[in-house]
Amino acid sequence: MNPITSSRARLGTYLLGWVPVVALLTFVAMSQGWRLAEALVLGVPMCALGAFLFLTSWYLCRALPLRSTRVGSHWTAWILAAVIMAALWSGAGVALAWCLDRLSPLAGLYHRALAALPTLLGIGVVLYLATLTLHYLLDAVDLGKLSEAREAEFRILAQDAELRALRAQLNPHFLFNSLNSISALTTIDPPKARSMCILLSDFLRGSLRLGEKRLVSLSEEADLLKAYLSIEQIRFGSRLQVQWDLDPATLSEEVPALLLQPLVENAIKHGIAGLTEGGVVRVASRREGNVLELVVENPVDADTPVVPGLGLGQRQVRSRLQMRYGDRMRFEAGTADGIHRVRMVFPSEVKP
């Protein structure tokens, strides 16, 4: 995209820049004994032509970027292009003069123009080179802005990848306790030991796979949670119950990968594990208009003091949502009536 025509403001400024050129041409012509009318009648159309003709220098600018190492050899191409374009331009000017010569008040214009051809040629070369320089300058500015934007985007991507990597990291406490359960089951209930091994493998594979992605469908995330919760149900027995309130219509929604996993992990660690009788972990989703709402709830022990503020897991989830959705997301977490509730609302996205 030509950096001048890419924005109206730039194009306007560029065309305005040709006004002094008209003035300069008129001044030069009049100093050579031209009349004002003669100078203007030829100068204005020529400048209009030049303004558009020299925009073609963009192609040269693009073909010979300054970043390349052999800038020295560009000179020949630049000069050659300038001479050709200036010749075209001044040739067109002389042709116009020849046409206008037929009109009686402008008789003799063709001869004057022909006489001024070398001067016109020189001015054409200078103007072409000036336009070319402008293209290079604007291109460099645009490139700078683009790389800044890219850098910002990369930074966000890197942070997100880092957070996901953290998420995909195994919670050692969970892993060792699960292995201990398997160890106990090998004598008590060997088939159950085997199925727990398989659940654990499913969960590990799933969290590695999801950790590589930025977005997954809600149903993929839910499958991972199901494997995780099945393992925890073997560990905690009847103390852990799970209530799924996922609206089927939301299952194809795209959500940041491993978004719910840390919240469900917290629901067990800070909720169920602290309750002698256990309780129900509830995971819910629904779509309202064009936003998606996700909720994770768990009971908490009344005797355990509430730590103010968000824990590490919640902070990470919130900052991932913030990075992706900015102001268009909401993250709320709080405890009321013995239930800890995390609610997230962000724009709905369905994979095309």
Binding status of residue 188 toward another protein by CB under 8 A? yes
Q: Which is nearer to another protein, 101 or 301 (CB)?
A: 301
- Pairing between β-strand 240-246 and β-strand 279-288 as defined by DSSP bridges: parallel
Binding status of residue 183 toward another protein by CB under 8 A? yes
C-alpha 254/C-alpha 322 separation (Å) is 16
Q: Considering CB under 8 A, how many residues would be counted as binding another protein?
A: 24
Residues 275-294 that bind another protein (CB under 8 A): 275-276
Q: Which is nearer to another protein, 133 or 183 (CB)?
A: 183
Which residue of 89, 203, 236, 325 would you call a contact of another protein, by CB under 8 A?
Answer: 236
C-alpha 250/C-alpha 284 separation (Å) is 10
Smallest distance, Å, CB 139 to another protein? 56
Which residue of 90, 131, 181, 266 would you call a contact of another protein, by CB under 8 A?
Answer: 181
Q: 211 near 248, Cβ under 8 Å?
A: no
Q: 195 near 233, Cβ under 8 Å?
A: no
DSSP bridge partners of 279: 240
Which residue of 102, 145, 173, 213 would you call a contact of another protein, by CB under 8 A?
Answer: 173
Residues 256-275 that bind another protein (CB under 8 A): 273-275
Q: Which is nearer to another protein, 172 or 352 (CB)?
A: 172
Smallest distance, Å, CB 311 to another protein? 14
C-beta neighbour count of 317 within 10 angstroms: 27
Determine phi and psi for 13, rounding to 5 degrees.
Answer: -60, -40
Question: Does residue 332 sit in helix, strand or coil?
Answer: strand
Q: Which of 207, 236, 245, 239 is nearest to 223 (CA)?
A: 207
C-alpha 251/C-alpha 217 separation (Å) is 7
**Binding segment for another protein among 128-136, 232-240, 280-288, 331-339 (CB under 8 A)?**
232-240
Residue type, 84: I
Binding status of residue 202 toward another protein by CB under 8 A? no
Q: Which is nearer to another protein, 170 or 249 (CB)?
A: 170
List of residues contacting another protein (CB under 8 A): 172-173, 176-177, 179-185, 187-188, 234-237, 273-276, 301, 303, 305
